[in-house]
């Protein structure tokens, strides 16, 4: 009986189940695929100025400096997927950890943040130029 228990534990560890990440890091292509599936809350954790200069379409602005005070504005369903991004990705890593620690189960971080998104030539929403309609 004891031998079967150890075999079960060894099989569990061998399949990598113990190393499943709590926060999933995605490159821009995989993040775009995830967003295309729908049902994902896209959270920009940059500053309002950075957001206004350009952001990923449909993103909601939750600056990292405000995120902990605004958690009540996020979905109450802690299983809803949330994809976070920042500038080069440092702020989003912190935000992703904060969301996970607050019970969100399906947290994604855009590796490289907005910089990687733009470098991969993914779509961004920018405000119209002054004087242009």
Q: What is the pTM of this model?
A: 0.81
Domain limits of the chain?
22-119
State the average pLDDT over residues 11-16.
44
**Smallest Cα–Cα separation from 124: which of 28, 25, 27, 24?**
28
CA distance 119 to 52: 19
Check pLDDT > 70 for residue 15. no
Place of tokens 């992703």: 96
> What digits encode the pLDDT tens for the residues 51-65?
999 999 999 999 999
Check pLDDT > 50 for residue 17. no
Q: How many helices (H) and strands (E) does the chain have?
A: 6, 5
Check residues 113 and 89 and name the one with the higher pLDDT. Answer: 113
CA atoms within a 13 Å half-sphere pointing along the CA-CB vector of 19: 4
Q: Answer whether CATH 3.40.250.10 is correct for domain 22-119.
A: yes
The answer to whether 26 and 34 have CB atoms below 8 angstroms apart is yes
State the average pLDDT over residues 43-53.
97
Q: What is the pLDDT of residue 21?
A: 52
Check pLDDT > 70 for residue 76. yes
């Amino acid at each position: 009986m004891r031998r079967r228990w150890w075999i079960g534990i060894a099989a569990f560890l061998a399949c990598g189940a113990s190393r499943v990440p709590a926060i999933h890091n995605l490159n821009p292509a995989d993040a775009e695929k995830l967003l295309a599936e729908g049902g994902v809350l896209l959270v920009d954790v940059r500053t309002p100025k950075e957001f206004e200069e350009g952001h990923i379409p449909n993103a909601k602005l939750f600056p990292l400096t405000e995120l902990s005070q605004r958690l009540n504005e996020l979905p109450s369903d802690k299983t809803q997927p949330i994809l976070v991004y920042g500038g080069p990705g440092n702020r989003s890593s912190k935000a992703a950890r904060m969301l996970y620690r607050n019970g969100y189960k399906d947290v994604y971080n855009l590796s490289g943040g907005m910089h990687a998104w733009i470098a991969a030539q993914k779509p961004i929403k920018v405000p119209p130029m002054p004087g242009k309609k």
